[in-house]
Structure 1
Amino acid sequence: MRRRNLLAATAGLAAVPLLAPGTAHADPDGRRRVRTGFTALADDDYALLAGQRVGVIANPTAVTPDLRHEVDVMAESGAVDLVAVFGPEHGFRGTSQAGEGEDYFIDPKTGLPVYNAYNDKDKLARYFGELALDTVVFDIQDVGSRFYTYIWTMYLAMEAAARNDMSFVVLDRPNPVTGRDAEGPILHEEVASFVGLKAISQRHGMTVGELARLFNAEFLPESVGRSVDLTVVRMTGWKRRMRYEETGLPWVAPSPNMPTTTTARLYPGTCLFEATQLSEGRGTTQPFQVIGAPGIDHRWQAALTAADLPGVEFREAYFKPVFSKWQGATCGGVEVQITDHDVFDPIRTALAMIIVQRREFPQYGWREGDTVPWIDKLTGSDQVRTDIEAGADVDTVIAGWRDELADFRDIRRDHLLYR
């Protein structure tokens, strides 16, 4: 990946306001709790939004610490001129499965119109203009992976806001898989899709606020010709090393197949099984944690255990998905158990799983029927696929993206808010 003009990008950041909340509070036992961007906004009586027509992009994760939805709270306050709500993949209230949004409806609780914001930048620009919005607010819990589509809804909304000369506000939330360094391959433009629109790494190690800063400086000037008027409302109390359980915040499943924080930690790696003929656990109670297919047996678990991958163990597992791949069929495979979060590498683990599976059970290859192989879209280029097909080991596959990752880490560093 070519290096970008970092000086220009850094200079542009000076114009991006950062609304910082007050000091983080602690539980009675003294444990520090994280305060989200919304808490800062509300504590300031929504002054940032005063006198503006506001649209909100949100889903069920946009909750206060006492589990009230922020749109409900803002609507009840009377302090914000809420005009409309926009739902991403799975919808504002979370009623849709993967690859779907919610159709237009009037929210019965607030009376607000709710529009489908899933994967259509032209539609978003039209909605924003027709509604004469002044400001668009984004608050959705991300899970730290390039192919989780909420960050691309944010990117397209930033483009639409820039085209309409509107302001864009991001209410920041923790990255649940920690904000440690970026990992994995970088997306190449030729395989861009809604599971990866721009050149970031597979596990980006950033919050949505930090990503918004990167998008605004690095990508919007190319796609729109200018940056958007961006404000990131920062968290307090969050450290990059934190596991989500240490934040003191409630966990609300960001999507139907992301039920737990463990799922989120596995997802940057085991989501790659979407691109294979194996079930990635959709249709079970352990999506992205149980992986398998009919005819796979104990040999896969034994070979993976012998590989001695850091921070993880594998249990021989059998399951029957109630929907998605291999619906109704008994699948054999493994359950992935994280044993040490500090050394566990989900991308290395998943690549090793794929390489070993193809050796032990070669009847199962890549998912069929895609014009561009789905594995290329998920990993960002054909490099991972062609290396694996050529018989490369995990270290060789990882070496194939090392230089591009180093370039991205350089770019990423200038947009971090929490150090």
Structure 2
Amino acid sequence: MKLWLSFVLLATMLFTQYSFGKQVLPTQVGAEQTEQYLTLLKGKRIGLVVNQTSRVNEQHIVDFLVSKKQNIATIFAVEHGFRGDHDAGAKVSSSVDAKTGIKIHSIYGKNKKPSSEVMNELDVIIFDIQDVGVRFYTYINSMFYMMQAAAQNNVPFIVLDRPNPHLSVVDGPMLNPEFSSFVGLLPVPLVHGMTVGELAQMIQGEGWLNSIDNADQIKHKLTLTVVPVKDYQRNDSYVLPVLPSPNLPNQQAINLYPSLCFFEATPISIGRGTDFPFQVVGHNEAYIGEFAFTPRSIIGAASNPKLKGIALKGLDLRSVQLNGFDMSIFYDWFKLFEKSELEFFSRSGFMDKLAGTDQIRLDMLAGKTLEQIKQPWQNDLKQFKKQRAPYLIYK
């Protein structure tokens, strides 16, 4: 009996190792494929567009490159700062990294693009930041402006690619250029289904460096290099090893982010100032659900959250699965506020910037159904998928 049991256990182990070993390959992000880019940096003055997600295995890419005696001239800080410890929208100042003494130049806020004086001190730019695959997440816009600056000053640009946690999902309205802003700059759907490397190729290939945001005439073609993710396919699940920003603390928050972000333009809380931002919805006057929470000040994540110190009730979505961009919860709360005669779109201009159009807001106010609201962008999505096809890297 013992011999038979031992045989079964051994067979099970071998089968498990074989079957899962064949199916699950170790994904290597671009930054970890050092042999693909270190030779491009030799003897160069390097500018890094990086944050807390920029890791080479367990080591930050800054520390890794310093250990390899590479010449890092400048670190460019995006929204949330180089260390990822700033509130959403909070000012990110230029400074010096205490650990390495490398100067940090902010590209979030008033100066989204470095000057020619800054760029003339560089020979190459590396972009290595984990994105979440949603148009209003600002890292891709920082990448765009840095690509523009690189092209204008004839500085090569390297993207170390990382997976998109929203996989291949493509959904939501396209950006109407009339509503272009730093939360919506590129003419892509709200959930675009592309990695930053693929987007970089599309930005260059479609000529957007010249056509978006009144760019100065670019005389040089950008020298763009993308180091792809190794052993990765578009629908491979990928759990982010480092949080992309303070208010996306786990995979569930990232999953819900595109479906809940419109609430930022309303009086309703989505959990900023709690331990579960972007995983709850609540208000104190009208609400769906009985889940209770009270937003509080959290330094580095939500110093002054909406409805701070007020007891709220609503929905606990920590175990709810929503796919890609799902407007159903947002629509239900709109109907509740409409019935309760409470103002819903308290920041209508911001709503239109997040959506990339005023049509969603106007259609909701006009009483259209959810299906009627979604119908106009379906053909746009089909056209976008054809347009982006030449720039896709992963199957």
1:296 to 286, 289, 292: 286
Q: Deviations along 1:351-401, whole A, 9 cap, x unmatched?
A: 434444335544141124x6xx11110111111000100111111110022
1:401 to 365, 377, 387: 377
Number of residue pairs aligned between Structure 1 and Structure 2 = 364
> C-alpha displacement at 1:224, in angstroms?
4.8
1:330 corresponding residue in structure 2: 311
Cα separation, 1, equivalents of 2:127 and 2:161: 9
2:12 corresponding residue in structure 1: none
Q: Deviations along 1:207-246, whole A, 9 cap, x unmatched?
A: 010111111122113245454211101111222112223x
2:294 corresponding residue in structure 1: 320
Structure 2 contact 36–227 (Cα < 8 Å) conserved: no
Structure 1 contact 61–254 (Cα < 8 Å) conserved: yes
Cα separation, 1, equivalents of 2:173 and 2:371: 13
> C-alpha displacement at 1:346, in angstroms?
3.2
Cα separation, 1, equivalents of 2:48 and 2:66: 11
SS in structure 2 of the partner of residue 57 of structure 1:
strand
SS in structure 2 of the partner of residue 244 of structure 1:
coil
Cα separation, 2, equivalents of 1:63 and 1:103: 23
Cα separation, 1, equivalents of 2:178 and 2:278: 27
2:25 to 32, 41, 52: 32
> C-alpha displacement at 1:185, in angstroms?
0.2
Aligned CA distance change for structure 1 residues 167 and 44 (closer, same or farther; 3 Å): closer
Cα separation, 2, equivalents of 1:181 and 1:115: 34
Cα separation, 2, equivalents of 1:416 and 1:127: 34
Where do 1:49-64 residues align within 5 Å? 49-64=41-56
| Structure 1 residues not aligned, in runs of 5+ | 1-25, 302-315
Structure 1 contact 89–98 (Cα < 8 Å) conserved: yes
Q: Deviations along 1:282-334, whole A, 9 cap, x unmatched?
A: 1111111111110234xx24xxxxxxxxxxxxxx4111111311010011111
SS in structure 2 of the partner of residue 47 of structure 1:
helix
Structure 1 contact 278–364 (Cα < 8 Å) conserved: no
Cα separation, 2, equivalents of 1:355 and 1:208: 33
1:144 has 2:136 as partner: no
2:73 to 44, 63, 83: 83
> C-alpha displacement at 1:128, in angstroms?
3.2
Aligned CA distance change for structure 1 residues 354 and 49 (closer, same or farther; 3 Å): farther
2:189 corresponding residue in structure 1: 201
2:225 to 225, 231, 247: 231
Q: Which amino acid aligns with 1:319?
A: F
Give TM-score scaled by structure 2 length.
0.86
* Aligned Cα root-mean-square deviation (Å): 2.2
Q: Which amino acid aligns with 1:85?
A: I
1:271 corresponding residue in structure 2: 261
Tell which deviates more after alignment, 279-288 or 98-107: 98-107
Aligned CA distance change for structure 1 residues 418 and 101 (closer, same or farther; 3 Å): farther
1:389 has 2:389 as partner: no
1:366 corresponding residue in structure 2: 345
> C-alpha displacement at 1:49, in angstroms?
1.5
Q: Deviations along 1:129-179, whole A, 9 cap, x unmatched?
A: 35x21111001110111000011000011111111111111000011121x
Cα separation, 1, equivalents of 2:387 and 2:222: 19
| Structure 2 residues not aligned, in runs of 5+ | 1-16, 297-303
1:43 to 35, 50, 66: 35
> C-alpha displacement at 1:103, in angstroms?
1.6
Q: Which amino acid aligns with 2:291?
A: A
Cα separation, 2, equivalents of 1:229 and 1:134: 12
Structure 1 contact 265–346 (Cα < 8 Å) conserved: no
Cα separation, 2, equivalents of 1:76 and 1:203: 37
% identity of equivalent residues = 35
Structure 2 contact 174–188 (Cα < 8 Å) conserved: yes
Cα separation, 1, equivalents of 2:377 and 2:263: 20
Cα separation, 2, equivalents of 1:338 and 1:411: 35
Q: Which amino acid aligns with 1:135?
A: V
Q: Which amino acid aligns with 1:195?
A: V
